[in-house]
């Protein structure tokens, strides 16, 4: 039997799954742009932003919402080997498994796609594209030119990746969605919704605006950092709950524990 | 494992610093203000009085004495006397102004400024120390880190992993041998799992990986086999692979343990 704070702590484990998705105004706006862009005759859609801004989460949500209605494939982890990548694309398109001793020829795959033109349109969601090699990116670009495959790709926002975006896709990407860290208001909604979704209304109510402000000051509104921070906070709570329950109050969110977690994560020099 | 008591000590030191640094800053400021007040009013006043008296007698007293002793001004004509009188009328005012302003403005103010600057600096630096929000190196895998991991994996493929030689107690070896014998007779997945656990405990991650796989092949519903397998992968430096395995397991079974383990791997606890 898990303790109360252990359960709350586990809410903030950073995992990309449908149940972890929290609907925020900005995320909903970005999602609507993303969904609409799939209806347009675009070859590629670029989703970019700093790590922890919710790109993978948005991609995951898109996949789960659309998988019943259209042909959509989600590569949540980057397939770095070109051989494996082409195999995965072909297997997804043809619904056939290729024997291990065989490989997919890129020209053949292009021809295969060209034959499907105007008959089918598949969407491939590729996460962490900054890890793909330039050669593979070029192949992705060429595959998108067939207009049979539409790619939605995510990139971490750094100088290098901006170059990738500029050089490879400037003529092809018609929709660019930039993901940003949350402001204080969004962060408050995010934390509250995440806890309320799992039934921890009372604990959620103890977190006041000043606490959110403090959390935001340290995490800069980055969702991954926020998850990490809250995980550590409730980890400390869990310790007290199990060992020294008199030292924590259920009515008030402890500033001391907030600061202790900040020290633990190195946000504060102590 | 979270050491809350150690963390509490660090927090206590942090609070002490927070409380005392403004007090120290305030006392330093008070000292500086006090000393500058001393220089501007008390010390400055003495200096101006000392310099005022002799200069005034020197400038004005001589002409008066000359007028009193002779009653006439033998060496000067009227126009020159008038000119001197005019000068005399102007001079004392200028001198008084100079005398009262000269020592105060350029000397004291500069010192004051420097001291105030110094106080500002100390206040700023203490402020920086106490409320510093330091950007913490992300525990999660960034693009670069993932790239490094993949590089490491590539290197590992070329060079076989060298396990550290460790001394084992005879009981552990006996235990492993006993279970091995048992397994060879019964071929039960549970025993393969026990072996995997024993090897993992002893730091033989290659062997624990192998036995976890054996257990999993015999019974893939054995959750522990997945976890030991993934943990061994992490220990062998294949963090990304481990995460992939756990994510796929979590997607199928929605196991909270798997979710927790994913979180722990991501934050580097394993």
Domain boundary assignment for chain B: 4-130, 143-266
Backbone torsions φ then ψ of B20, nearest 5 degrees: -85, -25
Q: Could you tell me which residue, A2 or A258, shows the higher pLDDT?
A: A258
Contact (CB<8Å) A14/B17:
no
pLDDT at residue B69 in the model: 42
Contact (CB<8Å) B134/A267:
yes
Q: Is residue A14 assigned to a domain?
A: yes
- Cα(A133)–Cα(B118) distance, integer angstroms: 54
Question: Both A199 and A231 in a single domain?
Answer: yes
pTM, to two decimals = 0.51
Q: Could you tell me which residue, B79 or A118, shows the higher pLDDT?
A: A118
Tokens found for residue A251:
């009515």
Of chain A, the percentage scoring pLDDT greater than 90 comes to 45
Of A180-189, A207-216, B255-264, which range is least confident? B255-264
Under the banding of pLDDT at 50, 70 and 90, the label for residue A63 is: very high
Question: Both A130 and A226 in a single domain?
Answer: no
Domain final residue, candidates A138, A163, A179: A179
Contact (CB<8Å) B140/A130:
no
Q: Is residue A270 assigned to a domain?
A: no
Nearest CB neighbour to B7, from listed A156, A263, A266: A263
Under the banding of pLDDT at 50, 70 and 90, the label for residue A235 is: very high
Of A64-78, A127-141, B51-65, B117-131, which range is least confident? B51-65
Q: Could you tell me which residue, A19 or B247, shows the higher pLDDT?
A: B247
Task: List the pLDDT tens digit at each of the 270 positions of chain B.
Answer: 678 889 999 999 998 888 888 888 888 888 888 888 877 776 654 544 444 444 433 444 444 444 444 444 444 444 554 554 555 554 444 444 444 443 333 444 555 666 677 777 665 555 444 444 444 444 555 566 666 665 655 655 555 555 554 444 445 567 888 888 888 888 888 889 889 988 988 889 999 999 998 888 888 888 889 999 999 999 998 888 888 888 888 888 888 888 888 888 888 888
pLDDT at residue B248 in the model: 84
pLDDT at residue B99 in the model: 41
Question: Both A221 and A158 in a single domain?
Answer: no
Question: Both A203 and A157 in a single domain?
Answer: no
Question: What's the DSSP call for residue B169?
Answer: -
- As for the ipTM of the complex, it is 0.73
State the nearest Cα–Cα gap between A62 and chain B, in angstroms: 17
- The number of helices, as runs of H, and strands, as runs of E, in chain A is 12, 5
With beta carbons less than 8 A apart as the criterion, state whether A239 and A257 touch. no
The answer for B 74-93 residues in CB contact with A (under 8 A) is none
Domain final residue, candidates A161, A179, A197: A179
State the nearest Cα–Cα gap between B247 and chain A, in angstroms: 9
Question: Both A174 and A40 in a single domain?
Answer: yes
Under the banding of pLDDT at 50, 70 and 90, the label for residue A239 is: very high
* Residue numbers of the domain that contains A132: 25-179
Q: Between A and B, how many CB-CB pairs are < 8 A?
A: 99
Q: For chain A, how are helix, strand and coil distributed in percent, rounded to 5?
A: 55, 10, 35
Residue B248 zone, left/alpha/beta (φ > 0; ψ -120 to 50; rest): alpha
What CATH number corresponds to the domain at position A50?
A: 3.40.50.300
Question: Both A99 and A198 in a single domain?
Answer: no
- Cα(A96)–Cα(B25) distance, integer angstroms: 73
Backbone torsions φ then ψ of A39, nearest 5 degrees: -85, -20
Under the banding of pLDDT at 50, 70 and 90, the label for residue A2 is: confident
Question: Both A82 and A111 in a single domain?
Answer: yes
Instruction: Please identify which residue in the block is written with the tokens 């007779």.
Output: B185
Q: Could you tell me which residue, B36 or A265, shows the higher pLDDT?
A: A265
CA angle A4, B256, B215 (to 5 degrees): 140
Contact (CB<8Å) A13/B247:
no
Q: How many domains are contained in chain A? A: 2
Question: Both A115 and A153 in a single domain?
Answer: yes
Q: Please state at what angle helix B189-201 crosses helix B223-235, rounded to 10 degrees.
A: 30
> Which residues of chain B lie closer than 8 angstroms to A228, CB-CB?
139-140, 267
Find the Cα–Cα–Cα–Cα dihedral A9, A11, A17, A22, rounded to 10°. Answer: -140
Q: A176 has which bridge partners?
A: A46
Nearest CB neighbour to A260, from listed B7, B133, B147: B7
Question: Both A45 and A143 in a single domain?
Answer: yes
**DSSP three-state, residue A126:** strand
With beta carbons less than 8 A apart as the criterion, state whether A3 and A238 touch. yes
Q: Is residue A237 assigned to a domain?
A: yes
> Which residues of chain B lie closer than 8 angstroms to A217, CB-CB?
133
Q: A124 has which bridge partners?
A: A73, A151
C-beta atoms surrounding A86 within 10 Å? 21
Tokens found for residue A35:
């969904």
DSSP-assigned letters across all residues of A199-219: T-HHHHHH--HHHHHHHHHHH
With beta carbons less than 8 A apart as the criterion, state whether A47 and A172 touch. no
Contact (CB<8Å) A13/B139:
no
Question: What's the DSSP call for residue A154?
Answer: E
A interface residues, B as partner, C-beta within 8 Å: 2, 10, 13-17, 51-52, 76-78, 80, 128, 130-131, 156, 158, 161, 217-218, 224-225, 228, 231, 235-236, 239-240, 243, 256, 259-260, 263-270
- Per-residue CA distances from A25 to A180, A187, A189, A226 (Å): 12, 11, 9, 18
Averaged pLDDT of chain A? 87
Of A75-79, A207-211, B58-62, B136-140, which range is least confident? B58-62
Contact (CB<8Å) B250/A266:
no
B136 vs A: CB within 8 A: yes
What is the second-level CATH architecture of the domain B143-266?
Answer: Alpha Horseshoe (1.25)
Instruction: Please identify which residue in the block is written with the tokens 């993949």.
Output: B150
Q: Is residue A269 assigned to a domain?
A: no
CA angle B230, B234, B235 (to 5 degrees): 115
The answer for B 221-260 residues in CB contact with A (under 8 A) is 240, 243-244, 247, 250-251, 256, 259-260
Domain final residue, candidates A179, A201, A216: A179
Q: Is residue A218 assigned to a domain?
A: yes
pLDDT at residue A143 in the model: 92
Q: Is residue A148 assigned to a domain?
A: yes
- Cα(B263)–Cα(A53) distance, integer angstroms: 17
Nearest CB neighbour to B132, from listed A225, A265, A269: A269
Contact (CB<8Å) B138/A266:
no
State the nearest Cα–Cα gap between A232 and chain B, in angstroms: 9
Question: Both A122 and A219 in a single domain?
Answer: no
Which of B1, B245, B267 would best serve as a mutation to test chain A binding (most A beta carbons within 10 A)? Answer: B267
Q: Is residue A15 assigned to a domain?
A: yes
pLDDT at residue B173 in the model: 65
B121 vs A: CB within 8 A: no
Tokens found for residue A64:
């789960």
Question: Both A34 and A81 in a single domain?
Answer: yes
């Amino acid at each position: 039997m898990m303790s109360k704070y252990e359960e709350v702590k586990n809410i903030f484990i950073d995992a990309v799954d449908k149940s972890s998705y929290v609907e925020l105004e900005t995320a909903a706006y970005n999602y609507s742009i993303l969904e609409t862009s799939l209806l347009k005759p675009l070859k590629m859609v670029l989703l970019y932003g700093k790590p922890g801004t919710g790109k993978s989460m948005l991609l995951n949500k898109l996949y789960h919402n659309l998988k019943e209605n259209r042909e959509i494939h989600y590569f949540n982890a980057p397939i770095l080997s070109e051989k494996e990548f082409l195999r995965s694309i072909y297997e997804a398109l043809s619904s056939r498994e290729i024997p291990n001793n065989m490989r997919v020829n890129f020209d053949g795959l292009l021809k295969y796609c060209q034959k499907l033109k105007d008959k089918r349109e598949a969407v491939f969601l590729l996460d962490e594209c900054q890890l793909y090699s330039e050669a593979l990116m070029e192949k992705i670009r060429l595959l998108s030119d067939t207009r049979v495959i539409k790619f939605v790709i995510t990139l971490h926002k750094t100088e290098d990746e901006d170059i990738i975006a500029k050089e490879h896709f400037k003529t092809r990407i018609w929709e660019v969605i930039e993901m940003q860290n949350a402001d204080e208001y969004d962060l408050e909604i995010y934390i509250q919704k995440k806890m309320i979704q799992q039934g921890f209304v009372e604990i959620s109510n103890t977190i006041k605006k000043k606490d959110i402000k403090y959390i935001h000051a340290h995490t800069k509104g980055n969702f991954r950092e926020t998850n990490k921070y809250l995980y550590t906070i409730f980890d400390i709570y869990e310790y007290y709950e199990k060992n020294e329950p008199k030292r924590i109050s259920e009515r008030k969110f402890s500033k001391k524990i907030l600061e202790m977690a900040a020290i633990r994560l190195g946000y504060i020099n102590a | 494992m979270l050491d809350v008591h150690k963390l509490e000590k660090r927090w206590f030191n942090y609070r002490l610093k927070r409380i005392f640094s403004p007090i120290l800053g305030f006392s330093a400021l008070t000292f500086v203000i006090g000393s500058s007040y001393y220089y501007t009013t008390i010390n400055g006043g003495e200096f101006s009085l000392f310099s005022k008296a002799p200069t005034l007698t020197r400038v004005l007293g001589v002409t008066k004495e000359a007028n009193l002793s002779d009653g006439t001004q033998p060496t000067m004509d009227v126009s020159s006397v008038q000119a001197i009188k005019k000068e005399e009328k102007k001079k004392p005012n200028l001198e008084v102004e100079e005398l009262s302003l000269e020592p105060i403005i350029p000397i004291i103010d500069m010192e004051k400024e420097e001291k105030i600057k110094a106080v500002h600096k100390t206040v700023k630096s203490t402020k920086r120390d106490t409320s510093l929000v330091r950007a913490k190196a992300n525990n999660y895998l960034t693009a670069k880190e993932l790239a490094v991991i993949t590089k490491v994996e590539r290197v590992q493929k070329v060079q076989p992993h060298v396990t550290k030689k460790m001394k084992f107690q005879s009981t552990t070896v006996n235990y492993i041998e006993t279970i091995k014998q048992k397994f060879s007779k019964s071929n039960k997945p549970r025993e393969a799992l026990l072996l995997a656990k024993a090897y993992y405990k002893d730091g033989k991650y290659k062997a624990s990986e192998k036995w976890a796989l054996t257990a999993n092949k015999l019974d893939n519903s054995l959750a522990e086999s997945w976890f030991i397998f993934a943990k061994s992968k992490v220990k062998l430096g294949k963090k990304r692979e481990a995460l992939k395995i756990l994510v796929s397991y979590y997607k199928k079974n929605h196991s909270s343990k798997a979710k927790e383990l994913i979180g722990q791997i991501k934050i580097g606890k394993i």
